[in-house]
Amino acid sequence: MGWLSKLLLPGRLRTGPTALLPARPDPKTLLAVAQLADPEARTDGDDILAGGSRIESPVELTGEVLAKLGVPDEDRLWACRIAAEGPLPVDFFDKSLAEGIAYRLGGWSLCQGEPLDPAEDGGDPLVYLPAVPEPEEILPILAESLRHADAVDTARWPEGELIEGVVHVPVRRGRVADVYAGADVLVTVEEGHRLPPAAQVRWPYLTEVAIARVSPVARTEEEAGEDAEPAGAASGAAADDRTEDVTSAEAAPGPLDDGSDSEDASTSTGASTGAGSDAEGAQAAEGAEAATSRNDAEGTEDTEDTEDTEDTEDTEDTEDTDGARGALLARAAVALALADGLRGIAADSRGFQIAEVADVLPGGHA
């Protein structure tokens, strides 16, 4: 690569969707990942063509270029730039393609100068369906897959009806058709007017599909509808709402050094009073040693408290991460059950097909 290409490279990568990967991807692995988003993805020389986009061959980036791209704490990454070469099957397909590749290969994505770690947001699993399912079709599947709700929240869903532990809300306005809720999972079914590549290959005769988004029930109905709209328009692009759990602790004060000051004071007193005050000096020294011991003990306790606080924070962060992963896996299981029962296609939030529950976790192909 010439010096001019190196000079222009950061700008090219910054403007276009780019996957930044921790290691040079094997061409076969990269093609297999691309085919999860577009089953008809194929190689073209050193590049890959998928869904009207070109996945350019990996380029090695060093710390200097990464610093210009705003990617911290990385010495070397491999960049796969995504370039749209024609009409995209769905809006922002090239962006979701970059994010999906980075998510499955344990890397970053970069678009319009903003680096993003896709692993921080697993998103909501999706199910592409040939048509909006009737309640009689979907309710038995959800009754077996969801943790049952005890009652209908009439303040939230005044038109909701509890059927075998599942709340059914017939919305029938806008693009949203139906909402189904269990105790902790919400399924929003909407009509999609543009087909992602996976759906085009499965149902080439269709001009629209239905999309079921599986999200946490804690979100409001309005948020669920807003999140579902980008799913239909952008092949399940990740929702913008993200929750960051930030835990901070104040460092405990360090041990005081009063012992040495007391010792110096006692030495000075003994020198000025002569031999007649040796006993007093010895007594003062004993007091100083006792004070030093007490301060050392207090300092040790403070250090232990700080370490305990840090351990507690690490434990809480681990529990939060494990809880989020568990909830994502549970929603993926619901999506797979719907796909199997309704002859649909289960996908992650970026439109990459999933065949088993673990496929929704980051770094699965790294």
Q: Distance between CA atoms of 352 and 194, rounded to whole angstroms?
A: 16
Mean pLDDT (the chain) is 77
Q: Which comes out higher in pLDDT, residue 304 or 93?
A: 93
Residues 219, 201: Cα–Cα separation, whole Å: 33
Tokens of residue 105, six digits: 């290969």
Q: Three-state DSSP class for 129? A: strand
- DSSP strand E in the chain: where? 18-21, 42-44, 47-50, 53-55, 59-62, 76-84, 108-111, 114-116, 126-129, 161-163, 166-173, 176-181, 185-192, 209-216, 345-347
Task: Please tell me the predicted confidence (pLDDT) of residue 366.
Answer: 81
- Cβ-contact 351, 37 below 8 angstroms: yes
pLDDT at 182: 96
pLDDT, tens digit, 9 for 90 and up, residues 118-143: 988 878 999 999 999 999 999 999 99
* DSSP annotation of 89: S
For residue 307, the tally of other CB atoms under 10 A from its CB is 11
For residue 233 the two structure tokens come to 């328009």
Residue 21 has pLDDT above 60, yes or no: yes
Rg over CA atoms, the chain: 30
Q: Can you tell me the distance from the alpha carbon of 61 to that of 81, in angstroms, rounded to the nearest whole number?
A: 12
18 exposure class (CB count in 10 Å sphere: 0-12, 13-18, 19+): buried
Residue 366 tokens, joined: 């790294």
Residues 187-235: tens digit of each pLDDT: 999 998 789 999 999 999 999 999 999 999 875 444 444 444 433 343 4
pLDDT at position 273:
36
